Chain A
Amino acid sequence: MIYNLALTLAQQPEVVERVLRVTRHRGFKVTEMDMHLGDNGTTRLGMVVESDRALELLSHQLNKLIDVTECEVLSAKPAATRYPQHASA
Chain B
Amino acid sequence: MEQGQKIRGADAVIKALAAHGVTTVFGYPGGAIMPIYDALVGAPVEHLLSRHEQGAAFAAVGYARASGKTGVCFATSGPGATNLVTVLADALLDSVPLVAITGQVSTAVIGTDAFQEIDVLGMSLSCTKHSFMVTDVDELVPTLYRAFEIAASGRPGPVLVDIPKDIQIALLDYKAPLQAIQPEPEVESSQLDAARALIAQAQRPMLYVGGGVGMAGAVEQLRGFIDKTGMPSVATLKGLGSIAHDHPGYLGMLGMHGGKAANLAVQECDLLLVVGARFDDRVTGRLASFAEHAKVVHLDIDIAELGKLRRPDVAMAGDLRQILPALTQPLEIVPWLAEVARLKAQHAWSYDRPGDLIFAPKLLNRLAAKLPENSVVACDVGQHQMWVAQHMWFRRPEDHLSSAGLGTMGFGLPAAIGAKVARPDACVVAVSGDGSFMMNVQELTTIKRRQIPLKILLIDNQKLGMVKQWQQLFFEERFSETDLSDNPDFVTMASAFDIPGRTITQVGEVESALDELLDAKGPFLLHVRIDEAHNVWPLVPPGASNRDMMDEMEKQT
Q: Do A and B come from one complex?
A: yes
Residues in chain A within 8 A of chain B (CB atoms): 14, 17-18, 21, 25, 54, 56-57, 60-61, 63-66, 88-89
Q: Are B308 and A57 in contact (CB under 8 A)?
A: yes
List 10 additional A-B contacts (Cβ < 8 Å) besides A14-B121, A17-B122, A17-B125.
A18-B125, A54-B307, A56-B307, A57-B308, A60-B303, A60-B304, A60-B308, A61-B304, A63-B303, A64-B304
Residues in chain B within 8 A of chain A (CB atoms): 121-122, 125-126, 129-130, 150, 281, 287, 302-304, 307-308
Cα A72 to Cα B308 in complex, Å, equals 19
Q: Are A14 and B122 in contact (CB under 8 A)?
A: yes
Q: Considering only CB atoms, which chain B residue lies closest to A62 in the complex?
A: B304
Number of A-B contacts (CB under 8 A): 26
A-B CB contact pairs (8 Å), 14 listed: A14-B122, A14-B125, A17-B125, A18-B125, A54-B307, A56-B307, A60-B303, A60-B304, A60-B308, A61-B304, A63-B304, A64-B304, A65-B130, A66-B130
Nearest chain A CB to B540 CB, angstrom units: 15
Q: Are A21 and B125 in contact (CB under 8 A)?
A: yes
Chain A contact residues: helix, strand, loop or mixed: helix
Residues in B whose Cβ lies below 8 Å from that of A14: 121-122, 125
Query: Which one of B121, B126, B150 lies within 8 Å of A25 (CB-CB)?
Result: B126
Q: Considering only CB atoms, which chain A residue lies closest to B119 in the complex?
A: A14
Cα A25 to Cα B125 in complex, Å, equals 12
Q: Are A21 and B150 in contact (CB under 8 A)?
A: no
Nearest chain B CB to A21 CB, angstrom units: 5
Residues in B whose Cβ lies below 8 Å from that of A63: 303-304
Residues in B whose Cβ lies below 8 Å from that of A66: 129-130, 150
Cα A61 to Cα B308 in complex, Å, equals 10
Q: Nearest 3 A-B pairs (CB), nearest first?
A: A60-B304, A66-B130, A21-B125
Residues in B whose Cβ lies below 8 Å from that of A89: 281
Residues in B whose Cβ lies below 8 Å from that of A65: 130
Residues in A whose Cβ lies below 8 Å from that of B129: 66
Residues in B whose Cβ lies below 8 Å from that of A88: 287
Q: Considering only CB atoms, which chain A residue lies closest to B125 in the complex?
A: A21
Residues in A whose Cβ lies below 8 Å from that of B287: 88
